[in-house]
């Protein structure tokens, strides 16, 4: 289930299940969105991105959905594996700000074997 900790929401899933991680973004002028995975003590790693002229994009085992009406982004991970355990951040890039990224609060995904 999903719970909110002191700082980071957490999501706990069973290995093999699908995971859905949600994110609300703040700037209606943002036209580019990215999901990053961050393992403990490491820098963020690119997972998948989507531009504002799309509402869905699929990668390998991952899908990103964008709902501009409610400023909502989600990351779906199919057949979640223990190696997927990490913190996941969405980031938005406001239009015409030189590629600057604004990060969401993050969700800690824990995969139980």
Partner 1 sequence: GAVVSQHPSWVICKSGTSVKIECRSLDFQATTMFWYRQFPKQSLMLMATSNEGSKATYEQGVEKDKFLINHASLTLSTLTVTSAHPEDSSFYICSAIRGGQFFGPGTRLTVL
Residues ≥6 apart with Cβ < 8 Å to 95: 29, 30, 31
For the window 73-102, what string marks contact with partner 1 as x by the rule CB under 8 A? ----------------x--------xxxxx
Structure tokens at 65: 């959905």
Nearest to 87 by CA among 23, 29, 27: 23
Q: How far is the CB of 16 from partner 1 (least distance, A)?
A: 27
| Residue 6 engages partner 1 in binding (rule: CB under 8 A) | yes
Residue 68 DSSP code: T
Shortest distance in whole angstroms from residue 88 CB to partner 1: 11
Confirm or reject binding of residue 44 to partner 1 (CB under 8 A): yes
- The rounded distance, in Å, linking the Cα atoms of 86 and 83 is 8
Considering the rule CB under 8 A, would residue 65 count as an interface residue with partner 1? Answer: no
- Applying CB under 8 A, the residues found at the interface with partner 1 are 5-8, 34, 36, 41-46, 49, 89, 98-106
């Amino acid at each position: 289930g999903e719970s909110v900790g002191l700082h980071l929401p957490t999501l706990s899933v069973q290995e093999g299940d699908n995971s859905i991680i949600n994110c609300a973004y703040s700037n209606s002028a943002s036209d580019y969105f990215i999901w990053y995975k961050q393992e403990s003590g490491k820098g963020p790693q690119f997972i998948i991105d989507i531009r504002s002229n799309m509402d869905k994009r699929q990668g390998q085992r991952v899908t990103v959905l964008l709902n501009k009406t409610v400023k909502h982004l989600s990351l779906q991970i199919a057949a979640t594996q223990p190696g997927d355990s990490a913190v996941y951040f969405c980031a938005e890039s406001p239009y015409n700000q030189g590629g600057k990224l604004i990060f969401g609060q993050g969700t800690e995904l824990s995969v139980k074997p």
